[in-house]
Structure 1
Amino acid sequence: MALKSSPVVFGLLARLSRRSFSTSKALASKPVTVRDALNQAIDEEMEKDERVFVMGEEVAQYDGAYKVTRGLWKKYGDKRVIDTPITEIGFAGIAVGAAFGGLRPICEFMTFNFSMQAIDHIINSAAKTYYMSGGQIPVPIVFRGPNGAASGVGAQHSQCFGAWYSHCPGLKVVMPFSSEDHKGLMKASIRVNDPVVFLEDEILYGIPFPMSDEALSPDFVLPIGKAKVEREGKHITVVCAGRATDTALQAANELAGNGIECEVINLRSLRPLDFDAIARSVAKTHHLVTVEQGWPQSGIGAEICARVMESSTFFELDAPAWRVTGADVPMPYASSLEVLALPRPKDVTAAVAAVLGNKISEAASQ
């Protein structure tokens, strides 16, 4: 059950948790980091199905660059946890071939920026083969690793690939937020027969989120393509995914103190996109803001706005929608500029104020 937007409730939660994450049974649940939630999911699926294996740079003896695969090599050995050379085009191709052969590989990119080296295998081989074979050759593979802005690593290592991959039919594209998201969606991604691009976030790996007893169970699986209402509200719908959900929730906490109740929708999946959840919320709030770390042109927010425009949901809006995105520039290296290139809670609060006040043209000109 999502938390209500009472300022009193959120004032209490703010004192208990710096980030005030909205999850079920938060106060009674066990805190688990995103890193450990992913590790649990992979371990449970490897134990359940001997066809599941992991490959990538430093995933074995070093326990993974971000320690997501910690302990798996010691438990499953060289055959199922495989260190690879630094050649994404090579090991991604091997992983796709293994999926063609009936195995269920988990292919780790140390960062999704490096997946550009392997994009031919991801798009032309993995994404298209199930369709081109008339359903005879499933491609059960998970491409996973950190995506989006890291910290102080420059333009070539700090960008969001959500819009890139969600553009492509044949792929499922997942962008989780909380530990429950990461665990439940990773397990679902390993089990499906389609290739899945699983976009994590380096900054979130060490963040603990409350996990319910249900989520800690080996049987816990979340459906791909179903969004989650992280926070209920009645004045405006804020749609986000991944780390942008944190930005949206922080802004919602601040706005609640001013009597504005935001309904925060965590998409969790970019392809398929749960547009029905967005439409239901907009029908209730009649206002819409989208939040993402990626660039504005051809982004996730642009896709959402287009779908609203092309559907009856458009007639539910009392004001134009607003997109809050990363700056339309390569990521700066200087920390002071890096902060300005990413959406901040105050950017979301400003967008909400502009939409609710129907002063978008005035705000955009500033």
Structure 2
Amino acid sequence: MPSPASQKAAQLVAILAKNGYARVEPPILQPAAAFIDVSGEDLRRRMFLTADAEGNELCLRPDLTIPTARQHIEAGRPEAEAAYCYLGPVFRHREQGGGEFLQAGMEIFGRKDREAADAEILARSAEALEFYGVEGIELRLGDRALFNAFIDALEIPAPWRRRLVRDVARQGGLGRDLASLAPSPVGNGDHTAFLAALDGADPKAAKAVVEDMLSIAGISQVGGRTAGDIAERFLEQARLRASASLPEPTHEALTAFLTIESDPVTAIGEIRALLVEARLSGAISASDDRELRQALDSFEKRNEEMAERGLDVAGMSFATSFGRQLDYYTGLTFEFRVPRLKGMGALIGGGRYDNLLQTLGAAAPVPAVGCAIFVERIEEAAA
């Protein structure tokens, strides 16, 4: 007999189905590579893995977004517009709770009007929480496209760009890395010249130099890492150190951007004002900010779409440094939480991921946005 929690969730999904979201039930057993290739090796340790008779690595699905996307692609027209909803168990190791838990959700694929689709997912998510009677909800937003466009316009060195993207995705380390990028005097007595030389060398030759140094020192392995692994890590640090210390106008603009946190309407005004200042200081060239202007226009249009759907835009919290841990987001990111319930994760979380379907096998990028609805947490928050 279904539990009360699953019965309530089934009612929610039935409502979504009546509103045009086709119900799907992807297989529980999935190719592991589909998740690891998209989300990285960090996910592997949280997955339940097995293999088929031919030795192909399989897993119990750790979420339902990727299985739904794969099913959409297999239907033969990945570029076609479609909306889906689902409800079923997912499986992954968690710090708290069992490895199997119930997840609902919805996805919109192929809709060209991205901002309207973003607003629809947010509105449907708010309706789901209202259906459960959850009170005291906070909606927090981020925008990966805006973040990427701004740091691209600032011409942040590639190693630090990757580092900052990772900081935002993991929600940690941003303050430390901003401090590392602060302007500093040249010739501070450290190994900067050596690191810069390594950074400019042929990668294979640089790695060989570091491995030779380790060999001379008698180091073959440290903490399970080989000399080759240690050399790779050292060279990564060399690239970061050699490209650290941004020009003062660039560092000021980056810091100002990454500390913006307010409601979305106020935020768009602050970012546009910052863009003017960054142009005047020379941190951003007017000829290099086309993508940034497009991202800002899209942000503003999404605000309008959210307001038209009756969402309280002024009551939302937007932060330029807010992100979610999945690497595939390309635009909007969001989470619904209940601040009074300290330590509880997102009740609903999701965002835009326009490159995911191509990564999974579609011939070209497909507009896509969706969310996961964490049934257990919502039941607890509503109690």
Q: TM-score, normalised by structure 2?
A: 0.25
Q: Which has the larger share of helix?
A: 2
Point out which structure has higher relative CO (alpha carbons under 8 A, 6+ apart). Answer: 2
